[in-house]
Amino acid sequence: MTPRTASFPLSHSKPSPGNQERIYQAVKARIVNCEMLPGETVYEDRISREFGTSRTPVREALLKLRNDNLVSIIPRKGTFVTHITVQDVYEIYQIRQLIEPGVAVMVRDDVDAARLQEFAAVLERKTAYTELPSEWFTLDRQFHTYLVECTRNRTLQELYEGIMNHQQRISILASRLPHRIENTVIEHRNIVEALQRRDARQIERAVKSHIMAAWEASLRIEQLVR
């Protein structure tokens, strides 16, 4: 596949402290939200011009992104947004299937009823997100992350954050499939309703069903070429 060229709008803002972290967070968000697609070329000079910095903080930020497995740095060729492979999908969903149903059951008495109602209200307005998959899947991520946060397990939260950086990319690409967002909304409604009832068996069934449906949809993404 021929790498696509990343588009970075130029900014006229002045440099500020913490450029490496600022660049890291900005480029990571573009990758995670699929504003930069798998295989896309990342140009150091364009990023340095945009942020008004030398190439040093750009290179440091890209090294952090490489550690996150979000970019690949190939000597004498360049830096590219990492591809998503079938193996990546398998590993991510296997981990989610092992973690999330148990987490949801474990925290069912700790989740805040008002917070669940907020999620339920947003799900009723699902049409607002059908044309903006990145926004919908940001909400999706917030929901699942909230359940993990209810465990108060910092190690698990850090692990889950890394998983969801890749999961969000997969989800946004899969949202191009017919009816995927609509089906995902229904799946989340089922999870919320089960949590509101505090029904352990129903919660586990709803979470597993959602993960399996997402897994199957992800395997149909055309970008999974390696």
Tell me: the pLDDT tens digits for 92-145?
Answer: 999 999 999 999 999 999 999 999 999 888 887 765 455 566 677 788 889 999
CB 64 within 8 A of CB 24: yes
Domain coordinates in residue numbering, the chain: 19-81, 86-218
Residue with the larger pLDDT of the pair 13 and 157: 157
What pTM did the predictor assign?
A: 0.80
Residue with the larger pLDDT of the pair 181 and 109: 109
As given in the structure block, the two tokens for residue 90 are 């398998």
Residue with the larger pLDDT of the pair 224 and 141: 141
As given in the structure block, the two tokens for residue 50 are 């945009």
Type of residue numbered 94: Q
For the 86-218 domain, the top CATH level (class) is mainly alpha
Q: Which helix (H) or strand (E) holds 73?
A: strand 71-74
Q: For domain 19-81, which architecture applies? A: Orthogonal Bundle (1.10)
- Which pLDDT tens digit goes with each residue over 201-219? 999 999 999 999 999 988 8
Taking CA atoms, 6 is separated from 30, 36, 80, in Å, by 10, 6, 9
Taking CA atoms, 196 is separated from 52, 53, 126, 199, in Å, by 49, 50, 19, 8
What is the rounded average pLDDT for all residues in the chain? Answer: 86
- 3-state secondary structure (DSSP) of residue 116: helix
- Which pLDDT tens digit goes with each residue over 28-55? 999 999 899 999 999 999 999 999 999 9
Closest CA to 188 of 164, 166, 207: 207
Q: Any idea which residue has 């969000």 for tokens?
A: 168
